[in-house]
Amino acid sequence: MATVVAAAFVVGGLLVAGSTPPARRSSPVTVPIRGVRVYLDVSGRSPDHPGETHLTFDGNPRTSWWTDAYLGPDKAHFGGLYDGEGLAIHLARSARLQRLTVMSSTRGWAASTYVSTHGVAMSAPLADWGQMVSSRRNLQGSASFDLRGRSGDWVLLWLTDLGPAGLANVAELQIRASA
C-alpha cells in the first residue's frame, strides 16, 4: 500500500509540474528605422552623399550609401581630413537595444557604435553621443555590433577606418531590441 501511495505522489507531482509552462525568453525584435542621416563632428565639411542614406534601410541589399573615395597615404582614415564619419540612425521608438547589423561589401573597415535618447546636431562633438557602446576593427564585409541593452531611439554607426580602398559602403542596417 505504501508503494501505491508513493507512486501516486510521484505521478501527481509530475502532472502538477508539467501543467506550468516553462518560462520563455523573448526573442529580440526588429525596431523600424525612421530615418538615417550622415553625421560629422567637424564644421566646414560637407557630409558624404546625404541624399542616399535612405538606401541603408530600403530593404534592397543591392542599393548602398557610399562614403566619398579618399586618396593619399591616409585614405583609409578619410584622407587625414577628420577622425570619422557616421550614420545617425533614428528609430521609430525608444527601446532596449541589443544588436546593430550592418550589410556591407567593404573589406578592412572599422567602426564604433553609440546609443542616445536624442539626436545630435551635425558638427557637434562626438562626445555629445555619450559613451561608446562597442567597437570592431578589420571587418571583412557585413558585421554585427553588440548594443548591450542600452536604451534609446538613436544609434550612431561611427566609421573610423574605410579599409585599404579608401571608401566604404552600407547596404542595409537592422537594429534588434528586447521584446
Residue numbers of the chain with a pLDDT score lower than 70? 1-25
- Looking at residue 76, its amino acid is A
Cell of 171: 547596404
Residue 1 falls within a domain, yes or no?
no
Of 14, 80, 81, residue with least CA distance to 42: 81
How far apart CA 140 and CA 156 sit, in angstroms, is 20
Cell of 165: 580602398
Residue 42 falls within a domain, yes or no?
yes
Residue 9 falls within a domain, yes or no?
no
For 7-28, the pLDDT digits (tens) are 444 444 444 445 555 555 678 8
CATH of the domain at 136: 2.60.120.260
Residue 18 falls within a domain, yes or no?
no
Q: Global pTM?
A: 0.86
For 38-61, the pLDDT digits (tens) are 999 998 889 999 999 999 999 999
What one-character DSSP code corresponds to residue 121?
-
Domain extent, residue 137, equals 23-177
Residue 10 falls within a domain, yes or no?
no
